[in-house]
Amino acid sequence: MSLINEDEFRVCPKTNFRVFRKAEPLMIANAVVAVLALAIGGVAALIMGIHKMPIRFSFIDNSTYYQVVNIHGINMLILWIVWFEIAAVYFASTAMLNSKMASMRLGWGAFALMLLGTLMLEWTIFFDHPNSTVMFTAYVPLKANPFFYLGYILFAVGVLVAGINFFLTIYQAQKTKSYPHESLPLAVYGVFVAVVIAVQAIINGAIVMILAYLYSYDIIAAPNADFWKQVFWGFGHTAQYINISATAAVWYILINIATGAKPLNEKYSRFAFMGYLLFTVPVATHHLIVDPAYSMPFKLINATLIALALAVPSLIHAFVIPGALERQIREKNHSEGLFSWLRELPWNEPAIPAVIWGILLFGIGGMLGSIQGTYQLNMITHNTLRINAHFHLTVVAGTTMAFMGLAYYFIELIPARKIIGGNLKVIQLHLFALGLAILTLGMFIAGVQGAPRRTATYDYYTSLGVNTFAWQIGLWLLGIGAIITVTGGALFVGLIVISLFFGKKVDKEGSFDSPIPTNVEEEEAHTNKLEAPGSMSIGFVFMIAFIVFYMFTFLVLSRGWKIGVPI
């Protein structure tokens, strides 16, 4: 057994995990910056949603719109998610393994680097418009303020340092046997995979951002635009698999906290995490299917065929997690109906709406993504608002909602404050999910008819004869959805911030007499019956919808002009 210095640790009275005291302020600091970024990105989202609505009561001009898109993208996709992930990474490697952090100095060093990078990014995108309005993607030869790229680089180096600290902490926990088995807990394993993918993403990101930094000072000529784009997405899209690995890990944590559900099969879930690691490498090519620089076999194999393999892990998690909930509820309540377990889930726990809505919307987003990543279908989807529908469903409904769910438990476990507002936290998640559903439906409706993304207004197109009338219902939904989602998001920020400072303090100090939490070995009863028939039925419906949708999109494609000669 491990030797725990009782001054350096406290025992969490709820979970009996040994929490390393010095790591707590670091986790809280990372999470606080994350929530601040979420708040900034949320204000930007509201402004964008209102500006996009086909009625002119927007209070910004078209030029400022692009600045707001830039602020929204960088704050949400990079700052909110990565800052929160770093907090979660520390939580998984210390608290969940009852371990010390390998180095507090590295931890705070990473924090300082990331904060410096964050401030540089914020400074350039807020005060250097339009010069630094180059978007999250920043494709060269667009040229921003050098500090924009330097901010990106410092932030990435900070994340890398945090990642090294994570690996060292895992190593130390293994060596000191601070947790009672050789295999990592499933959720920590998922986070581990996420950090390995992060290292790969950061290397790609560092290459392009250093090139762009040198280019912004005119030290080198503009790098080849498609090479830059390819390597950029080696960071940009790879990073989304950090997010989904972390999200799936959080889903496993949440269902376990709320109901005690275990994965249907440990090996199956671990295989799924490993799948993300193996198949992520060529994912950047998604973004180059309709680009000149690469040949058909390269694009077809990397962007479409290997990407199909990448759908496997997500499809596994999306079945196993509701399946685990179903099995748990069936065992506990002896529910017989096909879907009665859904009603019997503890819906008063924030974990349940975060996971159920998350998986449902993430599944639809994944479906859209698979269609867009299909070699031919990309030609009718690339850079339309459909793309935004895809990643708002995966990254916002999936990742952000999972993180919101986790944050409610985090506040009660680490700073040990009670979340104010009673059931408001559950209502918040429902509101957020509902808003997202409307928002992404609007994006899809407008995008499928050709509305391009990242475009301030379509008025100019209309005046020159593009029929944008049919886009408008989509744009209305987009605006209304954005308003509802941001209301839900604002409620989250409010609940978290107020609870953190003014929430009722809850008991922090448990007793060292209570044992370190460990798994209770249960012999699995072998049965020939399905364990999760309800989830399986929903899964079948989902797959049939997927096939119909996929084939229908090919039908739409076939109506267009002949283009690209068949070989």
Partner 1 sequence: MSITNPNKNWWKVPLGKDEKIWSGVIILMILMMGSMTVGWVFTGDQNPPDKFTSISNENFLSTATSENVASKGVFPGKLSNGNTSLDRFTSGDIYLVAQRFTWFAPSSDLNGSTANGVKFKVGLTYRMHLGSIDVLHGFQIVGDNWIISLQVVPGYDYYFDFTPTTTGLFQIICNEFCGIGHHTMLGFLEVVA
Residue 131 near residue 145, CB atoms below 8 Å: yes
Q: Please state the closest distance from residue 404 (CB atom) to partner 1, in A.
A: 19
Q: Hey, how many other C-beta atoms are within 10 angstroms of the C-beta on 60?
A: 15
Choose, by CB under 8 A, the member of 112, 293, 541, 548 that binds partner 1. 293
Q: Hey, how many other C-beta atoms are within 10 angstroms of the C-beta on 520?
A: 5
Interface region with partner 1, contact rule CB under 8 A, candidates 38-46, 205-213, 250-258, 339-347: 250-258
Interface region with partner 1, contact rule CB under 8 A, candidates 350-358, 421-429, 430-438, 527-535: 527-535
Residue pointed to by tokens 């040994």: 18
Choose, by CB under 8 A, the member of 296, 541, 545, 548 that binds partner 1. 296
Residue 254 near residue 402, CB atoms below 8 Å: yes
DSSP state of 149: H
The Cβ-side half-sphere exposure at 528, using a 13 Å CA radius, reads 0
Residue 221 makes contact with partner 1 by CB under 8 A:
no
Residue closer to partner 1 (CB basis): 138 or 431:
138
* Positions in 157-186 near partner 1 (CB under 8 A): 179-181, 183-186
Residue closer to partner 1 (CB basis): 229 or 390:
229
Choose, by CB under 8 A, the member of 103, 174, 176, 265 that binds partner 1. 265
Q: Please state the closest distance from residue 341 (CB atom) to partner 1, in A.
A: 14
Residue 331 makes contact with partner 1 by CB under 8 A:
no
Residue closer to partner 1 (CB basis): 111 or 179:
179
* Positions in 94-113 near partner 1 (CB under 8 A): 96
Choose, by CB under 8 A, the member of 126, 217, 266, 332 that binds partner 1. 266
Residue closer to partner 1 (CB basis): 382 or 392:
382
* Positions in 37-66 near partner 1 (CB under 8 A): 62-63, 66
Distance, CA of 34 to CA of 397 (rounded, Å): 17
Residue 452 makes contact with partner 1 by CB under 8 A:
yes
Residue pointed to by tokens 């109506």: 559
Distance, CA of 425 to CA of 351 (rounded, Å): 10
The Cβ-side half-sphere exposure at 452, using a 13 Å CA radius, reads 11
Distance, CA of 273 to CA of 256 (rounded, Å): 18
Cis peptide before 263 (omega within 30 of 0): no
For residue 266, CA distances in Å to 49, 93, 172, 469 come to 42, 20, 24, 51
Distance, CA of 535 to CA of 325 (rounded, Å): 9
Distance, CA of 140 to CA of 94 (rounded, Å): 40
- The residue count for binding partner 1 (CB under 8 A) is 119
* Positions in 10-39 near partner 1 (CB under 8 A): 15
Q: Please state the closest distance from residue 556 (CB atom) to partner 1, in A.
A: 7
DSSP class per residue in 8-74? TEEE-TTT--EEETTHHHHHHHHHHHHHHHHHHHHHHHHHHHHHHSSSS--SS-HHHHHHHHHHHHI
* Positions in 360-419 near partner 1 (CB under 8 A): 370, 374-376, 378-384
Distance, CA of 427 to CA of 431 (rounded, Å): 6
Residue closer to partner 1 (CB basis): 386 or 490:
386
* Positions in 186-205 near partner 1 (CB under 8 A): 186-187
* Positions in 537-556 near partner 1 (CB under 8 A): 539-540, 543, 546-547, 550-551, 554, 556
Residue 457 makes contact with partner 1 by CB under 8 A:
yes
Residue 564 makes contact with partner 1 by CB under 8 A:
yes
List the x/- string, 132-161, binding to partner 1 by CB under 8 A: -x-x-x-x-xx-------------------
Choose, by CB under 8 A, the member of 3, 292, 336, 501 that binds partner 1. 292
* Positions in 459-488 near partner 1 (CB under 8 A): 460-461, 464-467
Distance, CA of 51 to CA of 165 (rounded, Å): 43
Residue closer to partner 1 (CB basis): 423 or 467:
467
DSSP state of 384: B
Interface region with partner 1, contact rule CB under 8 A, candidates 110-118, 196-204, 265-273, 348-356: 265-273
Name the nearest CA neighbour of 283 among 261, 318, 254, 311: 311
Interface region with partner 1, contact rule CB under 8 A, candidates 232-240, 291-299, 399-407, 434-442: 291-299
Residue closer to partner 1 (CB basis): 31 or 249:
249
